[in-house]
């Protein structure tokens, strides 16, 4: 596939970001969101490379915490002949304790925009491939969605504050489903081209 877009992929949060971790599971394991996000990004970028699609890892750093303003600045200043699209990958939490909240949601800054159309493509592929509850596409004033000068979305791939979903988010098989679902959404967007 010849790609029309440069997919700028943001692995939300750093190792030093406060919180952003699950409670301990009974077996002592814990999900650290920065690690999950980076693992999905690396699985997805490997799949995209096989497909001949263009991606850019916005935050290669693992240590520390690259601020949201630096992330946005890097994306806005990137030079490319392709059209830029911004994809931020996360897992969700409903607080610091275990709770029942679960499922997948995708955010954009404003409805009635290219970002909303992009968000819908991702949300439907994620729900279909991963099979978790569809929480829908939502608007949010998240910094990386508000200040990026390109269509931008943020996927929330399950809740690590839910013990069952947390166990799945730690497993390589489920991580592959989540990466595959993103790849399918990317393929669908590439096929729609500039008209998505």
Q: Which parts of this chain interact with Zn ion (CB under 5 A)?
A: 12, 90
Query: Among residues 53 and 170, whose Cβ is nearest to Zn ion?
Result: 170
Sequence-ordered list of residues with C-beta below 8 angstroms from that of 157, at least 6 positions apart, any chain = 40, 89, 90, 91, 92, 104, 126, 130, 169, 178
Structural tokens at position 40: 């999905």
Q: Which is nearer to Zn ion, 17 or 129 (CB)?
A: 17
- In the complex, least distance from residue 49 CB atom to Zn ion, rounded to whole angstroms: 25
3-state secondary structure of 62: coil
Q: How far apart are CA 172 and CA 194, in angstroms?
A: 34
Q: How far is the CB of 33 from Zn ion (least distance, A)?
A: 5
CB of residue 93 vs Zn ion: minimum separation in angstroms?
8
Beta strand 83-92 pairing with 152-159: parallel
Between 5 and 107, CB nearer to Zn ion: 107
| Interatomic CA distance for residues 104 and 125, integer angstroms | 11
Check if the beta carbon of residue 28 is closer than 8 Å to that of residue 51. Answer: no
Nearest to Zn ion of 12, 14 (CB atom)? 12
Question: Smallest distance, Å, CB 79 to Zn ion?
Answer: 28
Q: Which is nearer to Zn ion, 12 or 158 (CB)?
A: 12
Strand positions, DSSP E, 76-133: 83-92, 104-108
């Amino acid at each position: 596939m010849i790609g029309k877009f440069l997919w700028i992929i943001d692995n939300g949060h750093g190792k030093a970001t406060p919180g952003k971790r699950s409670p301990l599971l009974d077996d002592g394991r814990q999900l650290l969101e920065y690690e999950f996000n980076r693992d999905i990004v690396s699985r997805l970028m490997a799949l995209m490379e096989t497909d001949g699609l263009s991606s850019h890892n916005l935050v290669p750093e693992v240590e520390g915490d690259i601020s949201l303003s630096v992330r946005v600045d890097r994306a806005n200043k990137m030079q490319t002949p392709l059209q830029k699209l911004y994809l931020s990958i996360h897992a969700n939490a409903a607080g610091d304790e275990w709770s029942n909240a679960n499922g997948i949601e995708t955010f954009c800054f404003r409805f009635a925009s290219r970002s909303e159309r992009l968000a819908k493509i991702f949300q439907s592929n994620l729900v279909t491939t991963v099979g978790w509850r569809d929480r829908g596409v939502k608007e949010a004033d998240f910094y990386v969605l508000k200040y990026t000068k390109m269509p931008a979305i943020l996927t929330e791939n399950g809740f690590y504050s839910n013990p069952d979903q947390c166990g799945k988010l730690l497993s390589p098989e489920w991580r592959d489903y989540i990466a595959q679902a993103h790849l399918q959404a990317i393929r669908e967007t590439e096929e729609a081209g500039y008209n998505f």
